[in-house]
C-alpha cells in the first residue's frame, strides 16, 4: 500500500484550508468565483465535500445555521443540462430559506435561477448506511412538500469548472422557497406526482416524481449512503430538496416564479 509522505499530507491539508478560506471570503463579498488558481480547485469529490462541510462549520459559528441539504443532478433533464451523470449535494442554510410568496432583491445575486423541487422534512435522524433500505428511508420522512430551489451562477464560466469545484461551493445553491402545505405520500404514489414551473404565468417545464432516480425515495437512499456528506447521520427536522423536475430557468428582474405539484399545492417567489 502506498503511503503518503508527511510533506504531501501537509500540502493537501494546507490546500484544503486555503480553498475553505477562499470560499468563505467569496461569501463575504459578492460570492464570485474563478478557476484561475489551480491550488484553489479541489482534487476530487471526496475533498470537495470535506471542504463544503468545513465551510459550513465556520458559517455555523455565526447566528445563521445549517438546516438541511439539496440534492442536484437527480433527473435526466438536469444531468443532460449540466453534463454530470451522478447526484451532487449542497448545504441549506436558514437565512437563505423563505416561505412561499416572498419577494427577493434581484440585485443580491450574480445571476439567479430557479428550479422546481420536491422536498421532504425528516421525522428521525437519517442514519448513514452503505446500503439503506427503502423501509427505513420511508420511516425517516415526516412529510413531503413543494419547493423552489434558488440557484446562482456565481462562476467565471461554470461550464469550465470541475464537478468537485462546484460541489465545494454547494453546487449552485443560493437558498430555497418552501411550500406551506405538508403531505404524507406512499412510495408508489410519490412517483406519479407531476410538477410544473411557470414564469410570469407561462408554463416553461413539467416533470414527474419518478424522474428523480426512478423514485424520489431513491434520492434519499443515495444521500443516506454518502458518509462524506452526512457523516454518521443527517439530523431530525432537516429539510432536503430531492432534485429539480425541470431544467434550471435563469431569471430576469421582475419575474414571478410559481411551481405546482399535483396534489401538493404551489410555491411562488418574485424577484424585484
pLDDT digits (tens, 9 = 90+) for 24-48: 999 888 888 999 999 999 999 999 9
Q: What is the pLDDT of residue 6?
A: 47
261 with 91: CB under 8 angstroms?
Answer: no
Mean of the per-residue pLDDT values for the chain? Answer: 93
pLDDT tens digits along 149-208: 999 999 999 999 999 999 999 999 999 999 988 887 776 788 999 999 999 999 999 999
Q: Which residues contact 13 (CB under 8 A, 6 or more apart)?
A: none
DSSP-derived letter for residue 97 is E
When pLDDT is averaged across residues 125-143 and rounded to a whole number, the result is 93
pTM, full prediction: 0.93
> Which three-class secondary structure state does DSSP give residue 44?
coil
Task: Note the pLDDT of residue 13.
Answer: 57
Euclidean distance between CA atoms 25 and 15, whole angstroms: 15
**What is the rounded average pLDDT of the residues 58-71?**
96
List the grid coordinates of 144. 413531503
Burial of 79 (0-12, 13-18, 19+ CB in 10 A): middle
Is the pLDDT assigned to residue 7 strictly greater than 50? no
Per DSSP, 96 falls in state G
How much is the pLDDT for 124? 94
In a 3-state reduction of DSSP, which class is residue 102? strand
Examine the pLDDT at 117 and tell me if it is beyond 50. Answer: yes
Give residue 12's pLDDT. Answer: 53
C-alpha cell at position 83: 453534463
Q: Read off the pLDDT of each residue in 59-87 and give the average, rounded to a whole number.
A: 96
Q: Are 205 and 127 in contact (CB under 8 A)?
A: no
Amino acid at each position: 500500500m502506498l503511503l503518503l509522505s508527511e510533506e504531501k499530507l501537509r500540502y493537501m491539508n494546507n490546500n484544503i484550508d486555503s480553498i475553505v478560506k477562499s470560499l468563505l471570503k467569496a461569501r463575504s463579498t459578492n460570492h464570485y468565483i474563478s478557476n484561475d488558481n489551480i491550488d484553489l480547485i479541489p482534487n476530487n469529490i471526496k475533498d470537495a465535500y470535506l471542504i463544503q462541510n468545513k465551510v459550513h462549520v465556520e458559517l455555523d459559528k455565526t447566528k445563521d445555521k445549517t438546516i438541511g441539504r439539496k440534492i442536484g443532478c437527480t433527473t435526466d433533464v438536469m444531468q443532460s443540462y449540466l453534463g454530470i451523470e451522478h447526484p451532487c449535494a449542497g448545504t441549506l442554510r436558514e437565512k437563505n430559506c423563505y416561505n412561499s410568496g416572498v419577494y427577493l432583491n434581484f440585485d443580491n445575486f450574480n445571476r439567479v435561477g430557479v428550479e422546481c423541487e420536491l422536498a421532504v422534512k425528516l421525522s428521525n435522524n437519517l442514519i448513514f448506511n452503505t446500503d439503506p433500505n427503502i423501509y427505513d428511508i420511508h420511516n425517516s420522512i415526516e412529510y413531503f412538500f413543494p419547493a423552489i430551489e434558488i440557484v446562482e451562477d456565481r462562476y467565471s464560466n461554470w461550464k469550465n469548472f470541475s464537478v468537485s469545484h462546484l460541489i465545494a461551493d454547494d453546487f449552485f445553491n443560493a437558498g430555497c422557497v418552501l411550500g406551506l402545505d405538508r403531505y404524507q405520500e406512499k412510495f408508489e404514489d410519490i412517483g406519479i406526482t407531476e410538477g410544473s414551473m411557470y414564469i410570469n404565468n407561462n408554463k416553461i417545464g413539467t416533470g414527474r416524481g419518478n424522474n428523480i432516480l426512478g423514485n424520489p425515495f431513491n434520492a434519499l437512499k443515495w444521500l443516506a449512503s454518502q458518509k462524506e456528506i452526512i457523516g454518521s447521520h443527517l439530523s431530525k427536522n432537516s429539510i432536503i430538496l430531492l432534485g429539480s423536475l425541470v431544467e434550471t430557468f435563469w431569471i430576469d428582474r421582475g419575474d414571478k416564479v410559481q411551481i405546482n405539484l399535483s396534489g401538493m399545492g404551489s410555491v411562488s417567489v418574485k424577484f424585484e
